[in-house]
C-alpha cells in the first residue's frame, strides 16, 4: 500500500514534465487536452495514457493528494474517486496514506 502510493507520487513527477510540455504545445493543440500518464500506483506503471484537459490537470494539482487515473484504475483501498469524465477519473487519497504522497513538487496543500 505504501509502495503503491509512492508510485503514484512518482508518476505525478512525470506528469509535471508532460504538463510543462503541454503548455508549450498548446499553440498547436487548441482544445488544450494533453496525454498524461495514468497515475494509478501499479508496480512499474500501467503504461496507460489519460487524456486530460490541461486546466483540469492544473486544478487537480492544486491539492497534493489528488491524482488522475484511467477509469477503472482506481484503488479503493487508498483513494476514492471525486470526479468522473469519459477519459479520466480524479481520485483523492484517503487520510491514512496522505502523508505518503505529500512530497508534492509544488508544495500544494492536501484536502
Ligand atoms: Zn493505470
Q: Which three cell numbers stand for residue 82?
A: 471525486
How many whole angstroms from 54 Cα to the centroid of ligand 1? 19
Which of 88, 30, 80, 79 shows the shortest CA–CA distance to 59? Answer: 88
* pLDDT tens digits, one per residue of 19-64: 988 777 665 566 788 999 999 988 878 999 999 999 899 999 999 8
How many whole angstroms from 35 Cα to the centroid of ligand 1? 13
How many whole angstroms from 42 Cα to the centroid of ligand 1? 6
How many whole angstroms from 71 Cα to the centroid of ligand 1? 8
User: What pLDDT is stored for residue 21 in this prediction?
Assistant: 84
Residue 111 or residue 96, greater confidence: 96
Choose the weakest-confidence range: 16-25, 73-82, 86-95: 16-25
Q: Is 72 left (phi over 0), alpha (psi -120 to 50) or beta?
A: left
Q: Is the pTM of this model over 0.85?
A: no
- d(CA 36, CA 39) in angstroms, rounded, equals 8
How many whole angstroms from 110 Cα to the centroid of ligand 1? 22
Amino acid at each position: 500500500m505504501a509502495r503503491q502510493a509512492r508510485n503514484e507520487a512518482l508518476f505525478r513527477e512525470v506528469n509535471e514534465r508532460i504538463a510543462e510540455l503541454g503548455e508549450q504545445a498548446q499553440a498547436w493543440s487548441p482544445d488544450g487536452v494533453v496525454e498524461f500518464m495514468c497515475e494509478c500506483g501499479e508496480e512499474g506503471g500501467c503504461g496507460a495514457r489519460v487524456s486530460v484537459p490541461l486546466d483540469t490537470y492544473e486544478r487537480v494539482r492544486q491539492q497534493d493528494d489528488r491524482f488522475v487515473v484511467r477509469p477503472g484504475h482506481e484503488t479503493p483501498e487508498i483513494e476514492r474517486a471525486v470526479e468522473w469524465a469519459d477519459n479520466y477519473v480524479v481520485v483523492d487519497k484517503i487520510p491514512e496514506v496522505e502523508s505518503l504522497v505529500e512530497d508534492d513538487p509544488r508544495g500544494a496543500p492536501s484536502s
